[in-house]
Structure 1
Amino acid sequence: MAVNAIEIDIQKLNKSFRNFQVLKDLDLQIRASETTVIMGGSGTGKSVLLKHIIGLISPDSGKIFIRGVDITTQKGPALDTIRSRFAMVFQSAALLNSLTVAENVGLGLKEQHRFSKKEINEIVIEKLKLVKMEHKYNSLPGELSGGMKKRVGIARALAMSPEVVLYDEPTAGLDPIMAGNIDELILELKQKFKMTAVVVTHDMESAFYIGDHICMLYQGKIIEEGSPESIRRSSNDYVIQFITRHKSVQT
């Protein structure tokens, strides 16, 4: 897909849980080969939006076009084909504690029944090397630090050869040094593979560092979006307040 073409086009998305409306007529376009960062406070619907993009949640109304195909109308194999172009890195890393690092990374490949054990192992080693975790090949998740678990989660996502990677709070719970390492890794992967990334975060420092395009989600809508510089110069009261509360942001 051409650089800067529209990869994902979200139109008038609405979602409520019980009597609380999380997303309200949300519009958003995500461009190919860019890192789009979705910021906002806790409970603003950032993770809910991610789950809509990958088809884990269906909207009450609205459309989500993936390369021109509305996934809200797709079911079964057709939806699975679209989902196969995506990978998600969960906030908790979501590793299975009973499996080794290598087994976690290769799990999705094994479930596809398309690769031999040798092929899976080669892919696993390749992806672990990308995230600098090959030395933990035989380790269990319980033996890893928080930052290491995040890296393994990213390796597992990359093993599926996705065109789009969705990151849910990738630096949450990490110390500043480890958070910086994860940011560097996200940047490196985008530059190496020209990969489209969508990053949900409330970490302003991370957002400004890795983002090509930044969106502020508030009360179910994108209230402002643009380059990191334009967001820094925003005149929107909520955006100003949000930035001011994060003293670690370098201006």
Structure 2
Amino acid sequence: MNALDQTLALAWRSLVQVRRNPWELGDYSIQPILFLVLFLFVFGGAIAGSPDDYLAFVLPGVIVMNMLFVTVYVGHGLNTDLTRGVFDRFRALPIPRWAPLAGRILADVVKQVLCIALLLIVGYLLGFRLATSFGHLLVMVLLVLTFAVAFSWVMVLVGVLARDPEHVQLFGFTALFPVTFVSSAFVPVETMPEWLQGFVQANPVSLLTEAARGLMNDDGAVAAPALASLAWAAGIAAVFAPLSVWVLNRRLARG
């Protein structure tokens, strides 16, 4: 229980920091809304015939894309603490080594909920209507958050390995862009070259998007892509969580 209290306190610390850096809040609010509006009105007519028809297709994809991008700030904040000596203070405290990492990820979950809520509200204002039930929507949110928690460990590792916070963002966004856009988040898989379709269908971004799309629009299979997404999440967490803690301990040991 002490470790849980310490994790919650460190998560609150990460959230309170937003007040001193209001521009960070724009990355969680303004940026995803801009992505949704731009994709909708620039590509909607070409892909679906009209923005109205494209909205139900693209909204789940933007939610998943933004979820991945927000995880970059977990690594960015962690690297900032490391380079500024904050972790040296943590080492002097009677807390588990994993508590600062878990606190960062827990704070990220709160920010993820805010982003998803904003996108759903803006989507509603643009004309989106849920074709299923509130329970299905809640399952979609939980599925996306579960994947976000698992994938955050990848960015924790990047944050520990990177030289400075700028390199975290550079590597994180550079790596995420091809994985995100070479998926079914924004265009149907069948419109892509045949040699690319196999990779796109196995891409966890595509699987998570298809599950979210089915839960929101009731227009496709849900169980198979949802279970595959959870399998990807479990595999990512099983590899990167212990690896991140091990690399962090080595970095702290070197001073």
TM-score, normalised to structure 1, is 0.26
Structure with greater strand percent: 1
The TM-score normalised by the length of structure 2 is: 0.25
